[in-house]
Amino acid sequence: AQTVTQSQPEMSVQEAETVTLSCTYDTSESDYYLFWYKQPPSRQMILVIRQEAYKQQNATENRFSVNFQKAAKSFSLKISDSQLGDAAMYFCAYRSRHNKLIFGTGTLLAVQP
């Protein structure tokens, strides 16, 4: 069975600085998708970025980018120029070939002004 591990329960970053959130996963599949979701206090889950496992190029969405290391089964999220609105719980997720979406336990990000 697939598992997703986020080893950082909480992180803190200064406004305008860069922070990296870690995620590792375990799978025997070769084709899958990886996602980062953001959950602010409103509870609404918001997709931040996604990565196709067959693509070697790291995905980028404005200030958000990933470092995808397929062999190491690592999928970290880098947030550049952090903003107060980035404060939220961040979840890493894996979508299997059977379309099941599995989440890590989350990292609570605080942004200090």
Partner 1 sequence: GAGVSQSPSNKVTEKGKDVELRCDPISGHTALYWYRQSLGQGLEFLIYFQGNSAPDKSGLPSDRFSAERTGGSVSTLTIQRTQQEDSAVYLCASSLATGVGSGNTIYFGEGSWLTVV
Interface positions with partner 1 (CB under 8 A): 29, 31-33, 35, 42-45, 47, 50, 52, 91, 95-106
Q: Which is nearer to partner 1, 3 or 112 (CB)?
A: 3
Token digits of residue 26: 């375990």
- Minimum distance between the CB of residue 46 and partner 1, rounded to whole angstroms? 8
- Minimum distance between the CB of residue 40 and partner 1, rounded to whole angstroms? 11
Q: Which is nearer to partner 1, 20 or 102 (CB)?
A: 102
Token digits of residue 15: 């406004």
Q: Which is nearer to partner 1, 1 or 72 (CB)?
A: 1
- Minimum distance between the CB of residue 64 and partner 1, rounded to whole angstroms? 15
Strands 74-79 and 88-95: unpaired
Q: Are 63 and 79 in contact (CB under 8 A)?
A: yes
